[in-house]
Chains A and B, each alone.
Chain A
Amino acid sequence: MNLRRYLDLIIYKTFADLRSEAAKTYIGFLWWVLDPIIFMTIFYIVFGLLMQRGTENYVPFLLTGLVAWRWFQATIIHGANAILAGRGLMRQVYIPKILFPLINIMTDLLKFIVVLAILLVFLWFYGFGINVSYLAFPLVLLVQFTLIAGLTILLSGLVPFLPDLRLLVEHILQLMFFVSGIFYDASQIPEQYKMYFYLNPMANIVEAYRSILMYGQWPDWSALSVIF
């Protein structure tokens, strides 16, 4: 009975947060889409045009990586702070603390789904059709979701005791962003560092996205199963 109530609460609060976020700006929901596009444009200008480091099909390559990455980054940054931010509520009613990160995970998941849908449509128009390896895509998403949810819940539990951790996390994410092969391809990495590169779960996930969505290949199962 309680579980049902908490579920209702999570769902209602998720939509309430999304609605209120959209109401804060003039173009509302459009920002969820515009946000990754602007982000991508910046990287395209810097790496694709100015430094000429772009690989073939650089725009879809970059966009795929960024969409996967932004989901990871956004959830962790929002979620890490969730329990701390909910302390006002906690002082007044008894609410299981885990609900706070769960609500954040849900809002970011829904935003990601919208962005992902747009990415897929974009890729189809670009000429990367649906292929048989799409069958593996839900599994990749599930692996990533598990990774994100696990890290977020863990962090949200630690941050109230160690508020400084939140600042550290931002830097770690920054580092991870650069070593996850989002704006470059793993083939550009010197051979002796490749082993370390693939120790990063996000690097594997980004690669799995690309092999499915762009190259029509099955992802690297062993790497994904290790993350899981």
Chain B
Amino acid sequence: MSHQLAISLSNVGAYYWRQEGYFRRSRYWALNNVSFNLYHSESLGVIGRNGAGKSTLLQLLAGIIKPDRGELVNYGVTASLLSLQLGFIPYLTGRQNAYLSGLLLGLEKSLIAERIEEIKAFSELGDFFEQSINTYSSGMKARLGFSVAFQLDPDILLVDEVLGVGDSEFRTKSADMMRKKIRSDKTIVLVSHNPLMIKQLCDRAIWIEKGVVQAEGSTDEVIRAYEARANASK
């Protein structure tokens, strides 16, 4: 495993405006002070409770928002969020939605055309692929979303708790696909509040609470610290 830097964050913070009555709003720092390095081909787990700033962190890494303080340096890598069912429109067919979602995710139209049969096969939708997605069950929609999103191949894949969609058979298939990506040379950032998932999939982890990094290190250490705190506050 190489230890080339992919993205580094130093003292990064990001805020949102919070409305407080008429004409008054205050800054809410979703991320307060976060510093860590992300290396090539590692899989980093980010653990934290709801509202800890995990999703904001992913948006920063993906370049969707910019840090309001501190510094984020991207060493020439592309990073994108694994977004399922991005931009799906209910009245269009599976095929049309696959195109639309793919374009939104940043795929070239010619590439989607090349892979469309592959998408159809992976989604196991069969004839439903040509039907309006109104007629889909939520599991079928999830399968389509997953099949499209997995065509995307950025340097860094940012995953926000999406494992386990569809029925158990498809869930195994998608989790396998995920693991394959993780074990390959791909750089992954996986965000979760489920310690087990991080333990299974990541080599390194950080724990974020209230917008601040609480612990960083090997997965086992970080999870132990996280669980100790969780038990203590019970």
**A90-B64 in contact (CB<8A):** yes
Q: Which of A1-29 contact B (CB under 8 A)?
A: 5, 8-9, 12-13, 16-17, 19-20, 23-24
Interface residue from B59, B86, B96, B108 paired with A16 (Cβ < 8 Å)? B96
Q: Which residue of B lies closest to A7 (CB)?
A: B109
CB of A91 closer than 8 Å to a CB of B:
yes
- Bound together, the chains give a CA A24 to CA B89 distance in angstroms of 11
Interface residue from B63, B87, B90, B99 paired with A89 (Cβ < 8 Å)? B87
**B96-A19 in contact (CB<8A):** yes
Q: Which residue of B lies closest to A2 (CB)?
A: B106
Nearest first, the 9 closest Cβ-Cβ pairs linking A and B are: A23-B91, A20-B91, A92-B83, A8-B109, A9-B103, A20-B89, A16-B100, A94-B64, A92-B81
The chain A residues found within 8 Å of chain B, CB to CB, are: 5, 8-9, 12-13, 16-17, 19-20, 23-24, 89-95
**A93-B103 in contact (CB<8A):** no
Across the interface, which residues of A come within 8 angstroms of B96, CB to CB? 16, 19
Across the interface, which residues of B come within 8 angstroms of A12, CB to CB? 99-100, 103, 109
Across the interface, which residues of B come within 8 angstroms of A92, CB to CB? 64, 81, 83, 86
A8-B108, A13-B87, A92-B83 known, 9 other contacts, Cβ within 8 Å: A5-B108, A13-B104, A16-B96, A16-B100, A19-B91, A20-B92, A92-B64, A93-B80, A95-B104
- Bound together, the chains give a CA A16 to CA B93 distance in angstroms of 10
**B89-A17 in contact (CB<8A):** yes
Minimum C-beta distance from B192 to chain A (A) = 17
| 6 contacts across the A-B interface (CB closer than 8 A) | A8-B103, A8-B109, A12-B99, A20-B92, A89-B104, A92-B81
Across the interface, which residues of B come within 8 angstroms of A19, CB to CB? 91-92, 96
How many residues in B have their beta carbons less than 8 Å from beta carbons of A?
Answer: 23
- Bound together, the chains give a CA A92 to CA B87 distance in angstroms of 10
CB of B197 closer than 8 Å to a CB of A:
no
Q: Which residue of B lies closest to A8 (CB)?
A: B109
Q: Which residue of B lies closest to A15 (CB)?
A: B96
**A24-B91 in contact (CB<8A):** yes
Known: A8-B109, A9-B104, A12-B109. A93 touches B86 (CB 8 A): yes
Across the interface, which residues of B come within 8 angstroms of A16, CB to CB? 89, 92, 96, 100
